[in-house]
Amino acid sequence: MNDEAIRPEPQPPRAAPKVVRRRNWLPSLIWLIPIVAALVGVFLVARILMDRGPEIVLTFKTAEGLEANKTAVKYKDVQIGTVQSIRLASDRSHVRVLVQLKKEASAFTAQDTRFWVVRPRLDTSGISGLGTLLSGAYIGADAGTSEETAGEFTGLETPPIVTRDASGRQFLLKARDIGSLDIGSPVYFRRVKVGQVAAYELDGDGRGVTLRVFVNAPYDKFVGINTRFWHASGFDVDLNASGLKVRTQSLVTVLLGGIAFQSPDDLNGPVAQENTAFALATDETAAMKEPDGPSRTMLLYFNQSLRGLSPGAPVDFRGVVIGEVKSIGVEFDRAEREFKMPVVVQIYPDRLRRQGSDRTREGQLSQLERWRFLVGKGLRAQLRTGNLLTGQVYVAIDFFPDAKPVVLDIERTPLELPTAPNSLDELQSQVSDIARKINKVPFEEISADLRRALASLNKTLATSEQLVKSIQNDVTPEMAAAMKDVRRTLNSAEKTIADDSPLQQDLRQTLQEVTRAAGSLRVLTDYLERHPESLIRGKPEDKQK
């Protein structure tokens, strides 16, 4: 085989291929994803910025229970914000909490808005915040009404008792002291809880306390301008002729205290406006009593011990309390060289004139002249024992017609009312007089006479003894013989009236005969009653014979 046989035939030259470039869409699809993501992110950021509300700073004494980016701010259990950060103040006296509010919560930047931390609490108003045991603490809010806004607020350490959305009215109560009351103490009307104590503060002059109470609607309409408030704490014990009575509003008031109110005679006056001030009485009796009117201070001088008398003791006029003791003391009278016991009392004369005006001659006199007239009639003050067990003493004012005349000095201030010793002092004086009289008795002479009388009596007794012996020797034998005769007589009488004696048998037969005669006489009487003609004609049987 030769080389020409296997040599391939030459091919004609081919034309160069034409290269056509395809359009590449792959890079545009890859960049579309980040672009869309960027757009979504911008939309979300814009939405967050649009929904984002203002930032505020809250200050608390402690950050207990608060966590950044977790603790919520709630109003009526609806979240209106979140705690962003918690920092300690530069002076280390409090913490500063940055809160991011939602856009719809921008109204909570009002200047009078209140914030507090909700934790589990146990106080006079009860147990609160139990839900935070599982969910954790949160910040509560109470929307304000002020038109001015603020960026920083001082948080409350305790939740407010009354929020601004509560329906009702607040009232002010003036008292000498707070007693057992506290924030949250209940307010009762006819033993129904209708409100609570919202706040209290000491008066500026330090002489009393002002309490702010909140009465819920619709019970606030029962608070009129004539309503009386009083302490309802503990027990109200009344011991009188009907027995022992114990009253209390509820068990809560016994433990935690409370306030009650009511109108006199259940006659409510016009409804009281909000923030109307009332006086807070110590008890129901003091609250419901009639107004005392003007008082008069009087001075009493006693020449006796004041043991058992204390400031606040009643001044009594025949069972009606017309005043009280203000102070007691001791005073040395240089002129008389003796000690006197001054007692200052405060009397309310209007308590004796509540039944109407006095149109008598005495009623037309001035008050000082009336006191002078009454003193001229024997009006005196006297100490009397009010309780035998405790030894308490009170001042009684009464008329003593036998008292020594006294002219009242109406120019003196305070007015000095004359006094009279009490019955115990009079008894002591009588005992002293009796003792003096007993001391005057000549006991020695009486004892000598008594000795002589006893000696004479001894002689008489000796003579009597001799007489008895003589009688025994002379009279006794005769009496013995007489007794024997009497015994024999009695024996004979006994034999005569014995059952088997002849006299008894004869008497028995005689009685039987008398009985038979009486029977025959009864038969004859019956026959004559039936046949009265037989007295003339005789018996028919006799005629036949």
The per-residue pLDDT for range 174-214, each reduced to its tens digit, is: 998 888 888 888 899 988 899 988 888 998 888 899 999 99
Q: Which amino acid is at 457?
A: L
Q: Does one domain contain both 83 and 206?
A: no
Residues 41-59 have pLDDT tens digits of 777 777 766 667 888 999 9
Q: Does one domain contain both 306 and 243?
A: no
Query: How high is the pLDDT of residue 269?
Result: 81
**Residue 3: pLDDT above 60?**
no
15 assigned to some structural domain: no
Q: Does one domain contain both 141 and 124?
A: yes
Of 219 and 461, which is predicted with more confidence? 219
338 assigned to some structural domain: yes
How many domains does one find in the chain? Answer: 5
Q: Does one domain contain both 397 and 459?
A: no
- pLDDT band for position 228 (cuts 50, 70, 90): very high
**Residue 87: pLDDT above 90?**
yes
Q: Decide: residue 533, CB within 10 A, 0-12 exposed, 13-18 middle, 19+ buried.
A: exposed
- pLDDT band for position 543 (cuts 50, 70, 90): very low
Alpha-carbon distance of 12 to 377, in angstroms, equals: 169
Q: Does one domain contain both 176 and 262?
A: yes
Q: Does one domain contain both 424 and 362?
A: yes
- pLDDT band for position 29 (cuts 50, 70, 90): low
**Residue of 381, 446, 433 lying closest to 408 (CA atoms):** 381
Using a cut of 0.75, tell me whether the model's pTM lies above it. Answer: no
Cis bond before residue 349 (omega within 30° of 0): no
Query: How high is the pLDDT of residue 352?
Result: 73
Q: Where are the alpha helices (DSSP H) in 228-325?
A: 251-256, 284-288
Computed on alpha carbons and rounded to an integer, the radius of gyration of the chain in Å comes to 59
Element (H, E) at 390: none
Alpha-carbon distance of 389 to 348, in angstroms, equals: 29
Q: Does one domain contain both 183 and 145?
A: no
Q: Dihedrals φ, ψ of 116, to 5°?
A: -155, 160
**Residue 128: pLDDT above 70?**
no
Q: Does one domain contain both 207 and 254?
A: yes
**Residue 242: pLDDT above 50?**
no
- pLDDT band for position 248 (cuts 50, 70, 90): low
Q: Does one domain contain both 304 and 430?
A: yes
545 assigned to some structural domain: no
Strand segments, DSSP code E, in 248-335 are 259-262, 277-281, 296-302, 314-317, 320-328, 331-333
Q: Which of 154, 186, 219 is the last residue of a domain?
A: 154
Query: How high is the pLDDT of residue 97?
Result: 93
Q: Which of 266, 288, 310 is the last residue of a domain?
A: 288
Q: Does one domain contain both 454 and 386?
A: no
The full length of the chain comes to: 545
**Residue 545: pLDDT above 50?**
no
Residues 385-412 have pLDDT tens digits of 887 777 788 999 999 888 888 888 888 8
Q: What is the DSSP letter of 387?
A: -
- pLDDT band for position 355 (cuts 50, 70, 90): very low
Least confident range of 19-28, 44-53, 457-466: 19-28
Query: How high is the pLDDT of residue 261?
Result: 93
Query: How high is the pLDDT of residue 541?
Result: 61
Percent of the chain residues past pLDDT 70, beyond the cut: 79
253 assigned to some structural domain: yes
Query: How high is the pLDDT of residue 13?
Result: 62
Query: How high is the pLDDT of residue 30?
Result: 67
Of 3 and 161, which is predicted with more confidence? 161
Alpha-carbon distance of 457 to 30, in angstroms, equals: 157
Query: How high is the pLDDT of residue 38?
Result: 80
**Residue 359: pLDDT above 50?**
no
Q: Does one domain contain both 181 and 94?
A: no
**Residue 318: pLDDT above 80?**
yes
**Residue 458: pLDDT above 80?**
yes
Query: How high is the pLDDT of residue 511?
Result: 81
Q: Give me the sign of the Cα torsion angle 84, 88, 91, 92.
A: positive
182 assigned to some structural domain: yes
- pLDDT band for position 8 (cuts 50, 70, 90): low
Question: What average pLDDT does the chain have?
Answer: 79
Least confident range of 215-224, 386-395, 426-435: 426-435
Q: Does one domain contain both 308 and 381?
A: yes
Query: How high is the pLDDT of residue 363?
Result: 47
- pLDDT band for position 424 (cuts 50, 70, 90): low
Least confident range of 53-57, 61-65, 280-284, 386-390: 386-390
Query: How high is the pLDDT of residue 353?
Result: 67
Instruction: State which residues form the domain around 114.
Output: 49-154
Least confident range of 76-90, 224-238, 488-502: 488-502
278 assigned to some structural domain: yes
Cβ partners under 8 Å of residue 177, min gap 6: 208, 209
**Residue 433: pLDDT above 90?**
no
Q: Which of 288, 311, 329 is the last residue of a domain?
A: 288
Query: How high is the pLDDT of residue 365?
Result: 56
- pLDDT band for position 480 (cuts 50, 70, 90): confident
12 assigned to some structural domain: no
Of 243 and 138, which is predicted with more confidence? 138
11 assigned to some structural domain: no
**Residue of 415, 333, 340, 336 lying closest to 374 (CA atoms):** 415
pLDDT, mean of residues 219-224: 91
Alpha-carbon distance of 431 to 119, in angstroms, equals: 75
Least confident range of 194-198, 209-213, 353-357, 448-452: 353-357
Cβ 304 vs Cβ 288: under 8 Å:
no
pLDDT, mean of residues 349-355: 68
- pLDDT band for position 20 (cuts 50, 70, 90): low
